[in-house]
A = this chain, B = another copy of it.
Amino acid sequence: MSGSTFGKQFTITTWGESHGKGIGCVVDGCPAGLSLQEADIQTYLNRRKPGQNKFNTPRKESDVVEILSGIFEGKTTGAPISLLVHNQNQHTKDYDHLLHVYRPGHADFTFEQKYGIRDHRGGGRSSGRETVGRVAGGAVAATLLKQLNITLNAFSKSIGEIIIPTKAYDFAEINQNPFYMPNATYAKETAAYLEHIMKQQDSCGGIVECIVTGLPLGLGEPVFDKLDANIAKALMSIGAVKGVEIGDGMDVTKRRGSENNDAFYVSDRHIYKQSNHAGGVLGGLSDGAPLVVRAAIKPTPSIGQTQRTATKDFSACDIRIHGRHDPIIVPRAVVVIESMIATTLADLLLQNMSSRMDYLTAIYK
């Protein structure tokens, strides 16, 4: 396997299963001298927690983070930062009936095929709970980015058929509704929409968008570790993501070159783009405009309706999933996506430091 580490200079290594002892993350390569406290990370983890509303799983996940290493007197020392979140409130018995059954839309079948063994309790390593490690690590990255005045805003752009147009965004609203939507009216509409779906014991998908401002020019390492390439990997590695777009994304396929090119203009001896169809990335490098990224989140696969499936010993059977599941993953995915983007950016920021001889001479003068 060996796929548990992400990044090259700034890396996160995550571990842990849904119903094991805990979930953790080791952050390596974080520069020394960054102020970092448990509260910085807890804030991020709290955004991932199921809310106190009817649109979330009734599972209680306290998810308290503990920093085990890498900090001395409130600052990073350059040593690896080990983060631990103990598992609690696991109802392992809820999963006993899944010991031999493969849930549609889940990784039960493929994990068993790959490894010949499977921790069926809550999906084990393939559980959405795995993202606790990503958020813990991403919070460290985000703290670093903040020091450099880089701002990330992730939010739900759509839930099912409710789609918020760009011009209706109001970032101040994001934390004011249970869906992390940048518009109060659409959030209200979404609540009604979801109640309808829940009554049908069904679930739905949506789009998470993230807009990043303040990035230095030139981030990304051609030709394979481009900014957009690394972000695409970062997001597609999240369980429920089925599509990733940069800037105008899939829409560019219907555009003309004359519409899609962003013209340059000059202002005060700086060069800017008049539009941002490219989403802040030209040739795989940040171009000074806001980075705009979207991820398509699939509907929660765990639904109450009866589904046809198969067992380990090749019997067909029906399954109804009762557990404690979210009818919609999108709102809780918002912080996961922001975290993965933060981690990717922190890594590329460090990598970019060695791109020019004059940077070397500045440091090794």
Contacts and interface: CB of A to CB of B under 8 A. Distances in A.
Nearest to A110: B285
Interface residues of A, number: 169
A110 B87 CA distance: 39
A303 B250 CA distance: 21
Contacts of A22: 68-69
Contact of A117 (B66, B75, B102, B249): B75
A3 B222 contact: yes
Interface string A151-172: 0000000101100000000000
A178 interface: no
A211 interface: no
Interface string A32-57: 11100000000000000000000000
Interface in A204-223: 204-207, 216-223
Interface string A302-319: 110101111000111000
B253 A246 contact: no
A262 B104 contact: yes
Q: Count identical subunits in the complex.
A: 4
Given A5-B5, A68-B21, A286-B110, A32 B203 contact: no
Nearest to A357: B33
A58 interface: no
Report whether over half of chain A's contact residues are helix, strand or loop; otherwise say mixed: mixed
Interface string A273-312: 0100011001111111000000011111111010111100
Nearest to A330: B253
A323 interface: no
Contact of A360 (B21, B31, B219, B284): B31
A195 to B, nearest CB: 14
A59 interface: no
A29 to B, nearest CB: 3
Contact of A265 (B30, B253, B308): B308
Contact of A355 (B14, B115, B130, B315): B115
A332 interface: no
A117 B77 contact: yes
A250 to B, nearest CB: 4
A181 interface: no
Contacts of A259: 299
Given A77-B117, A230-B233, A253-B158, A258 B107 contact: no
B263 A237 contact: no
A160 B364 CA distance: 40
A202 B316 CA distance: 55
A264 B104 contact: yes
Which 3 A-B pairs have CB atoms at the shortest separation, nearest pair first? A107-B283, A114-B218, A3-B221
15 contacts: A4-B79, A4-B223, A26-B26, A33-B115, A78-B356, A104-B264, A110-B283, A114-B219, A130-B223, A242-B278, A242-B279, A245-B296, A252-B297, A253-B297, A257-B305
